[in-house]
Amino acid sequence: MSTTTARTGVRAAVAEPTSTDSTQTARILQGSPIAGAMRARVTEDVVAFRQRHGFAPTLAVVMVGRDAPSAVYLQQIIRGCVKVGVEGRVVEVPEGADAREIQRQIRSLNDDPLVSGIIIQMPLPAHIPLRVIIDTIDPGKDIDGIHPINAGLLSLGYDGFLPATAHAAVQILRASGYDLEGLDAVVIGRSNVVGKPTGLLLLREHCTVTVCHRRTRDLAAQTRRADLVVVAAGSPGLVRGDMLKPGALVVDVGINVVEDGIVGDVDFESAKTVAGAITPVPGGVGPVTNAILMEHLIRAARDQHG
Ligand code: NAD
């Protein structure tokens, strides 16, 4: 265990930095190996499902209009489907379509026995009432856990479909060997899809959780006392190294398309010299999210087909 990690009392199975960069203290938590192991298990499950039922499950992604981060995410999802042998179907709805048209598409996917999971790409155009769309998804096919039934199950601590990104933010830590029990955790972001469910999942892991947002008065004061910081704000460079407690675990969920490519919400260069462990962007939470969606899909398919 590295000394920085030990300082916060964060327990890790393996915590030695893997990079040769001399200024780096943080262990870099790469998502790809974790995702690869998950995908290998899912691939076997898909083969078994196909043998038993004669078809591979389909993941349908409903995309309304175009938005840069969503398009990146969509490409990754479709690639993930190919890797585990399931079908990925993109249902493109024109930007100007009304809620009824989107609902019609979702109902037809609900009724399609080949489709086991449905994802709605966010954000939806401003004129579409989000609640109406979410309510239309069959909760048994809601593999990204956005339906009120799945959100309710999560808040009560029962089994349902978890929002994949929130699930991934916690899973990347668990799979890297960290025991989260008792940690002071700060989540930045309170969206229904990422921040809020991440907070609930960390409570389930027995963390003491603070959820911060745009109106939090002194963000740095919150993050500086945290053993674990999960950032899901959509704001590049929001969390710098000087806002972190030495040795803290840092999970960067942000995906921001900037001139130089894709960056997260954490200023990686300064944060990695202070944190005990940190997820990179790209290559951290993203690949794990993708693999988790595939896990949720095969679970949904099995539930639907017995
Ligand atoms: P959102 O815009 O719905 O919510 C952002 C939240 O962050 C809000 O609660 C807001 O109050 C808070 N916030 C924004 N700026 C802040 C600031 N300066 N200080 C404190 N709080 C601030 O976004 P979202 O859908 O929750 O997504 C968050 C980020 O995660 C985005 O970058 C998104 O692209 C990314 N994302 C990543 C994955 C993945 O798999 N890695 C999946 C979904 C979303």
pLDDT in tens, 57-69: 999 999 998 776 6
> How remote is the CA of residue 175 from the centroid of ligand 1, in Å?
23
**Could you tell which of 77, 186, 188 is best to mutate to test the pocket of ligand 1, judged by most ligand atoms within 8 Å of the CB?**
188
| Mean pLDDT, residues 20-38 | 87
In this structure, the strands spanning 58-64 and 87-93 are parallel
- 23 against 83, higher pLDDT: 83
- Whether the per-residue pLDDT at 1 is higher than 50: the answer is no
Tell me the CA–centroid distance for residue 254 and ligand 1, in Å.
6
Residue owning the nearest CA to atom 1 of ligand 1: 191
pLDDT (0 to 100) of residue 12: 43
Q: Which domains does the chain have, with CATH numbers?
A: 2-30+164-287 (3.40.50.720), 54-147 (3.40.50.10860)
* Mean of all residue pLDDT scores within the chain: 92
Do 119 and 132 meet the contact criterion of CB atoms below 8 Å apart? no
Test site for ligand 1: of 72, 187, 194, most ligand atoms within 8 A of the Cβ: 194
> Which band of pLDDT confidence, cut at 50, 70 and 90, is reported for residue 73?
confident
Find the DSSP H helices in 232-284: 268-271
What pLDDT is recorded for position 3? 34
Cβ count near 240 (within 10 Å):
16
How many CB atoms are located within 10 Å of the residue 204 CB?
14
- Residues lining ligand 1, CB < 6 A? 69, 165, 188-191, 193-195, 212-214, 216, 219, 232-235, 238, 253-256, 285-286, 289
pLDDT given for residue 21 in this prediction: 53
Pair 109, 102: CB distance under 8 Å: no
pLDDT of residue 69: 66
- Do residues 185 and 207 lie in contact, with contact meaning Cβ atoms separated by under 8 Å? yes
CB 241 within 8 A of CB 4: no
Handedness of CA 302, 193, 5, 284 (dihedral sign): positive
pLDDT tens readout for residues 169-211: 999 999 999 999 999 999 999 999 999 999 999 999 999 999 9
Mean pLDDT of 212-240: 98
Whether the predicted pLDDT of 122 surpasses 60: yes
What is the value of pTM for the model shown?
Answer: 0.92
pLDDT band of residue 123 (cuts 50, 70, 90) is confident
What tens digit of pLDDT does each residue of 284-297 get? 999 999 999 999 99
Confidence of residue 16 (pLDDT cuts 50, 70, 90): very low
Q: Which of 32-41, 51-60, 122-131, 279-288 shows the lowest per-residue confidence on average (mean pLDDT)?
A: 122-131
For strand 27-28 and strand 277-278, is the pairing parallel, antiparallel, or unpaired? parallel
Does position 19 have pLDDT exceeding 80, yes or no?
A: no
* Predicted local confidence at residue 75, as pLDDT: 85
